[in-house]
């Protein structure tokens, strides 16, 4: 009996401790904010909105290795889109590209110099098998030389708004490993450099502008010439049994990377229930770990975030539903949100979001009024979403769904000359009356 009493007391004590932990520290029952990733740098992005859901050292510059090839892929697809080349365009292999292909240190598809290859063949070998020589061949085809192609890479990075980057070759190899064949305009010890933030933005632009890239990046295995080539992305559904542990439902891209200087990295993307996420992990300790850490990011994103409409189109901020109007038939005009604001959030964070108006000062006169005539639906400012909680990582793109136009709900016609004249006369006498009152008050003060 004494044993039962002690046991019951112990059970009650444990439950009391658990209850106290939840009450005193309610965050303990929420999703873990720190993922404790085994990567030097990482980022998780919602594709539809560009909202960053998680980041770790996102601006540290690290050699991206073969993730560099995403920029080469972009420029190839852009050249096809612009009609400069086609999938059926053929090219032969230069001595430089052949030397890279023949080098056992760079596992490749074994290119030959006595036969032409189509752009489609070269692109698939690059995008699926991460082949370096085919990447160089495509760069030379588009720009004439890899040195000129590198200039295009850096120009495109500027256009995309990448914040931390340096491209020195098309492949992601270290220039020091190119046996003196580094591209013209670069040094022999130069490295490609990207941050996780910039890598994610590159991946975003690639998928956004050329969604067909996923048709290729999702292929686990294919044929090249007379051989099979395999995708280094182990999160795809490979037939090899030892890779089954890394399979992740919904993954369809994008690019792995490894060099001694950059470690093991992976830019991934997955879609579930119409929701696409982009991930980047940089400098993990092993090939396996880059996929394990990516799975952590994807689990965190898919399980904890749901896109919600926080403020509907037409919503009006309390106390700020109108703006004053000068020279109009009405003295004010109603304003409201021109679009709905929808973002991926944790359900428990919904109450921590609010909005603020930013009125376009060029639309106002010196008295802070709009001037008639005003059209219905005229944009008079922007509405910004404000998050008042912790861990607001911002957005990967400058134009995001957390900022929408502030518009007028009705039109306001300009008052006719007679009404404007009466108004001016009224203002004149009102000013005289106010001045007189002030003068009289001054006499008796």
Determine which one of 51, 55, 56, 66 is catalytic.
Answer: 66
Q: Is 69 a catalytic residue?
A: yes
Determine which one of 51, 56, 69, 283 is catalytic.
Answer: 69
Q: CB under 8 Å to 389, separation ≥6 — which residues? A: 349, 352
Q: Is 66 a catalytic residue?
A: yes
- What interhelical angle do 146-160 and 69-81 show, nearest 10? 90
Determine which one of 94, 130, 195, 336 is catalytic.
Answer: 130
Active-site positions read 66, 69, 130
């Amino acid at each position: 009996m004494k044993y039962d009493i002690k046991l019951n007391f112990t059970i009650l004590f444990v439950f009391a401790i658990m209850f106290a932990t939840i009450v005193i520290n309610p965050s303990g029952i929420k999703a873990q904010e720190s993922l404790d990733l085994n990567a030097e740098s990482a980022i998780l992005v919602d594709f539809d909105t560009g909202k960053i859901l998680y980041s770790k050292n996102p601006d540290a510059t690290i050699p991206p290795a073969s993730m560099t090839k995403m920029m080469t892929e972009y420029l190839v697809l852009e050249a096809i889109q612009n009609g400069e080349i086609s999938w059926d365009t053929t090219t032969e292999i230069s001595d430089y590209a052949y030397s890279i292909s023949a080098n056992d240190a760079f596992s490749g598809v074994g290119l030959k110099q006595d036969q032409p290859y189509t752009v489609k063949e070269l692109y698939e070998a690059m995008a699926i098998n991460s082949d370096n020589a085919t990447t160089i061949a495509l760069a030379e085809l588009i720009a004439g030389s890899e040195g000129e192609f590198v200039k295009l890479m850096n120009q495109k990075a500027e256009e995309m708004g990448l914040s931390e980057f340096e491209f020195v070759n098309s492949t992601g190899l270290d220039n020091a490993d190119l046996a003196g064949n580094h591209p013209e305009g670069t040094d022999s010890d130069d490295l490609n450099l990207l941050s996780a933030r910039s890598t994610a933005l590159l991946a975003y632009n690639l998928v956004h502008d050329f969604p067909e890239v996923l048709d290729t990046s999702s292929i686990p295995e294919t044929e090249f010439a007379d051989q099979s080539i395999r995708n280094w992305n182990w999160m795809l559904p490979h037939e090899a049994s030892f890779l089954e542990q890394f399979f992740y439902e919904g993954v369809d891209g994008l690019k792995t990377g490894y060099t001694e200087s950059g470690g093991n990295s992976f830019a991934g993307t997955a879609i579930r229930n119409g929701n696409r996420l982009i991930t980047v992990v940089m400098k993990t300790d092993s090939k396996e770990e880059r996929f394990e850490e990516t799975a952590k990011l994807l689990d965190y994103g898919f399980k904890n975030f749901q896109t919600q409409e926080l403020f509907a189109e037409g919503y009006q901020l309390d106390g700020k539903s109108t703006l004053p109007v000068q020279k109009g038939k009405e003295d004010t005009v109603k304003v409201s949100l021109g679009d709905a604001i929808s973002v991926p959030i944790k359900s428990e964070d919904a109450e921590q979001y609010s909005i603020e108006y930013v009125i376009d000062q060029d639309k106002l006169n010196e008295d802070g009024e709009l001037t008639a005539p005003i059209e219905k639906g005229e944009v008079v400012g922007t509405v910004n979403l404000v998050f008042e909680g912790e861990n607001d990582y911002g957005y990967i793109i400058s134009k995001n769904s957390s900022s929408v136009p502030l518009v007028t709900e009705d039109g306001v016609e300009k008052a006719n000359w007679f009404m404007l004249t009466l108004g001016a006369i009224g203002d004149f006498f009102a000013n005289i009356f106010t001045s007189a009152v002030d003068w009289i008050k001054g006499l008796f003060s």
